[in-house]
Amino acid sequence: MSRISQRFKQLDEQGRVALIPFVTAGDPGPQVTVPLMHAMVEAGADIIELGVPFSDPMADGPVIQRASERALEHGVSLRDVLGMVQQFRELDSTTPVVLMGYLNPVEVMGYEAFAQAAQDAGVDGLLTVDLPPEESDELLAAIKPKAIDPIFLVAPTSSDERMKRICDAASGFVYYVSVKGITGAGHLAIGEVAAKMAQIRKHTTLPVGVGFGINSAEKAQAIAQVGDAVIVGSVLVKRIEELSDSPDEIAPAIAQILSSMRQAIDLV
Amino acid sequence: MQTEKPIDFSSMPDARGHFGPYGGLFVSETLMEPLDELREAYEKYMQDETFLAELDADLANYVGRPSPVYHAERLSRENGGAQIYLKREDLNHTGAHKVNNTIGQALLAKRMGKQRIIAETGAGQHGVATATVAARLGLECVVYMGAVDIARQEANVYRMKLLGARVESVESGSKTLKDALNEAMRDWVTNVDNTFYIIGTVAGPHPYPAMVRDFQAIIGREAREQMHQQTGALPDALVACVGGGSNAIGLFYPFLNDAEVKIYGVEAAGAGLDSGQHAAPLCAGTPGVLHGNRTYLVEDNNGQIIETHSISAGLDYPGVGPEHAWLKDIGRANYVAATDDEALAAFHTLTRVEGIIPALESSHAIAYALKLAREMNTNQTVLVNLSGRGDKDMHTVAALDGLKI
Ligand SMILES: Cc1ncc(COP(=O)(O)O)c(C=O)c1O
């Protein structure tokens, strides 16, 4: 069983919902990320989503775009991100790590080479935002034998037929994008999310996480009532940006936000 | 002996938009369903007599088609070698080939009931062509343009505003065309219910590369007939500049099955292919995935897109249409490059010798065509796509002469 499935099984047994923070690797500098990952685990993160910086983050709002730009100013590459995961694994062998980004860095590294390097580093899942299941056969053939879960997005616009196709291709968990738009967008309609979750669950027994637009403990709590995982990104990345000149303060500040979300979620 | 069956180029792409390993559909899930709707509408209306009749009428009466093919006799004589013919897309309304596509897509938007049009633009030509058709159809229009391009294409920015479009300055990344495309995609993903995204070249996810090609293929269809009328034969060679590749594929496509016609796409070599300062993914790039399709890209070893350089904003793009990537790999078309200096020299030559001021983009095609023609016989013909006129480039060229206009 993959580290991700194992984690969800544990949480299920405890009757808890997963908290999954997203941060961009190497933002605002490469040395910040690994200590930040440990701090997030301590503050209650169950799985970590690590953004791989890309020059053209088409699906991201300005907050995560700028995070990518900051990381790229330090030349942070996919190989560097794998190095960070490897370093994280020296002290933490249980918290799953999912890489989230765009296909091109993986494509240019080569699917087989990536799969091997990612397994060696201790990566557990891969979410490439711009890779729909229709185009994913080759990549799946490379990563699945290395026990790396392909995570796919389901969107508010996905038809029933697409939901099925996505759920069939996915393992680990399914990621429901809770707003029609880019990361960091505002309007999260909890009622609509609940309806969609019911629809998705008709197609899969995999856990379903919800992300995009969750920027407060209150929203995290509301989402925890319908989803198996609460995924938060822009609100953390924004805080990192505010503190980019005082990197020492980043880990405690992020831990504080996550702790309050953790508490709110655990009340559910 | 088994003979290999020739490729029927008119059958490409496949059902999911692939040209061999290139093209396809690489977008976030939110756009998959809307792109499918678009594909259905495009497939339906390209078979619809009423739609096609409306498109033809607009192309004739609003754009001014057919655009002429002109035998540049004096240029051919002075240059030596093959006879040079120009397909005069510069004479279209709004001054370039871009409008062939915006007319088509805007009519499609109207049929699909979309009230809002968005577009990306580099030089501003596609932005102007989009704002133009939006004004005519009474549609809301937002054009995304990199901050760097806004600064170097002031006149077109003003033109778009006059036409009633809102020009959104894009401040992310390299602040040029690729970033404008990213931003337009972000808008589309957010407003997908009421918005139609008019992409200006044969890039983007399926069905855009095929759809834009089909709207631009009028160039090649007309030219084929016109060359027959004027010379009694097909041209020996075709030459067009390649930014995203829409004017080029528009000319090439109707000739792809004519194996005897040689095909040349000319990319922007900027300061030189070895300088790193270029916009020539086919000549000096590697395959990758960007903006919804797999194609050749100007990128680094880590898969990050590199800033491109060209004197012409319209060629300043790190990707290229996937059909060109495929035509390169199978050897049906040749891709070459012209530097800033070569394009400028050709700009002046055509202006002085024929009284036609070409766009700097098109000047790249002229530059290569002059070179190619010199290696051919005087009874052979080269057909060049003169994709646009140079009015928009006056200030760029004047600035090189130390003038501010
Ligand atoms: C006159 C002209 N030619 C060519 C191009 C390049 O585009 P494409 O390669 O899609 O024809 C542009 C783009 O702005 C243009 O304005």
User: pLDDT tens digit string along A131-161?
Assistant: 999 999 999 999 999 999 999 999 999 999 9
* pLDDT reported for residue A259: 98
Q: Which helix H or strand E contains B394, and what residues bound it?
A: helix B394-400
* pLDDT reported for residue B162: 98
Give me ligand 1 centre to Cα B223, in Å: 18
* pLDDT reported for residue A268: 84
pLDDT by residue for chain B (405 residues), tens only, comes to 555 678 899 999 999 999 999 999 999 999 999 999 999 999 999 999 999 999 999 999 999 999 999 999 999 999 999 999 999 999 999 999 999 999 999 999 999 999 999 999 998 999 999 999 999 999 999 999 999 999 888 889 999 999 999 999 999 988 999 999 999 999 999 999 999 999 999 999 999 999 999 999 999 999 999 999 999 999 999 999 999 999 999 999 999 999 999 999 999 999 999 999 999 999 999 999 999 999 999 999 999 999 999 999 899 999 999 999 999 999 999 999 999 999 999 999 999 999 999 999 999 999 999 999 999 999 999 999 999 999 999 999 999 989 888
Kindly state the percentage of chain A with pLDDT values over 90: 93
- How far apart are alpha carbons A250 and B302 in whole angstroms? 27
Residue A213 has pLDDT above 90, yes or no: no
User: Does the beta carbon of B87 lie inside 6 Å of ligand 1?
Assistant: no
Q: What is the DSSP letter of B26?
A: -
Nearest CA in chain B to A158: B33
Q: Predicted confidence band at A171 (pLDDT cuts at 50, 70, 90)? A: very high
For ligand 1, pick from B98, B320, B389 the residue to mutate: most ligand atoms within 8 Å of CB.
B98
Residue A174: strand, helix, or coil: strand
Give me ligand 1 centre to Cα A41, in Å: 51
* pLDDT reported for residue B337: 98
Residue A221 CA: distances (Å) to CA of A4, A18, A46, A98, A226: 22, 11, 16, 23, 9
Query: Tokens standing for A109?
Result: 């590294």
User: Which of A74, A118, A124, A77 has its CA nearest to residue A96?
Assistant: A124
Catalytic choice (A27, A60, A124, A228): A60
User: Does the beta carbon of B180 lie inside 6 Å of ligand 1?
Assistant: no
What residue owns the CA closest to ligand 1's atom 5? B314
In this prediction the ipTM stands at: 0.95
Query: Tokens standing for B318?
Result: 């790190």
B14, amino acid identity: D
What's the mean pLDDT in A122-134?
A: 97
Q: Which residues of B are catalytic?
A: 98, 120, 387
* pLDDT reported for residue B2: 53
* pLDDT reported for residue B10: 92
A-interface mutation test, from B16, B27, B29, most A Cβ less than 10 A away:
B29
Residues of A in contact with B287 (CB under 8 A): 107
Respond yes or no on whether the N-terminal peptide bond of residue B207 is cis (omega within 30° of 0): yes
User: Which of B216, B273, B263 has its CA nearest to residue B240?
Assistant: B263
Respond yes or no on whether the N-terminal peptide bond of residue B66 is cis (omega within 30° of 0): yes
Give catalytic status of residue A27 as yes or no. Answer: no
| Residue B196 CB contacts under 8 Å (≥ 6 apart), including other chains | B105, B106, B108, B109, B112, B114, B116, B117, B118
What residue owns the CA closest to ligand 1's atom 7? B243
Cβ(B85)–Cβ(B230) below 8 Å? yes
Q: Which helix H or strand E contains B83, and what residues bound it?
A: strand B83-88
Map tokens 């007939």 to a residue: B225
Burial pattern B354-392, b for ≥16 Cβ within 10 A else e, equals: bebbbbbbbbbbbbbbbbbbeebeeebbbbbbbbbbbeb
* pLDDT reported for residue B83: 98
Map tokens 């030219």 to a residue: B223
Report how far apart the first and last C-alpha atoms of chain A are (Å, whole number). 27
Q: What mean pLDDT, rounded, does chain A reach?
A: 96
Give me ligand 1 centre to Cα B153, in Å: 14
Q: Please report, to the nearest 10 degrees, the dihedral formed by the alpha carbons of residues B5, B8, B14, B18 taken in order.
A: 90
Q: Enter the CATH code of domain A3-265.
A: 3.20.20.70
What is the pTM for the complete model shown? Answer: 0.96
User: Does the beta carbon of B359 lie inside 6 Å of ligand 1?
Assistant: yes
- How far apart are alpha carbons B298 and A6 in whole angstroms? 41
What's the mean pLDDT in A53-57?
A: 97
| Residue B69 CB contacts under 8 Å (≥ 6 apart), including other chains | B85, B86, B87, B88, B222, B223, B226, B227, B230, B383
User: Which of B149, B165, B391, B300 has its CA nearest to residue A53?
Assistant: B300
What residue owns the CA closest to ligand 1's atom 1? B388
DSSP A95-156: S-EEEEE-HHHHHHH-HHHHHHHHHHHT--EEEETT--GGG-HHHHHHHGGGT-EEP-EE-T
Instruction: Note whether B32 contacts A132, CB cutoff 8 Å.
Output: yes
User: pLDDT tens digit string along A79-118?
Assistant: 999 999 999 999 999 999 999 999 999 999 999 999 999 9
* pLDDT reported for residue A123: 98
* pLDDT reported for residue A147: 96
User: Which of B61, B309, B320 has its CA nearest to residue B204?
Assistant: B320
* pLDDT reported for residue B51: 98
Shortest CA gap B281–chain A (Å): 15
Domain segments of chain A as ranges: 3-265
Nearest CA in chain B to A186: B190
B366-372: long-range contacts (C-beta < 8 A, 24 or more apart)? B367/B266, B367/B338, B367/B342, B367/B343, B368/B239, B368/B264, B368/B266, B368/B336, B368/B338, B368/B342, B369/B84, B369/B239, B369/B264, B370/B75, B370/B79, B370/B84, B370/B346, B372/B82, B372/B237, B372/B239, B372/B264
* pLDDT reported for residue B379: 98
Shortest CA gap A35–chain B (Å): 24
For ligand 1, pick from B201, B266, B320, B357 the residue to mutate: most ligand atoms within 8 Å of CB.
B201
Residue of A62, A79, A180 with shortest CB distance to B192:
A180
* pLDDT reported for residue A118: 98
Q: What is the DSSP letter of B393?
A: G
Cβ(B174)–Cβ(B148) below 8 Å? yes
Shortest CA gap A190–chain B (Å): 18
A135, amino acid identity: E
Instruction: Note whether B29 contacts A154, CB cutoff 8 Å.
Output: yes
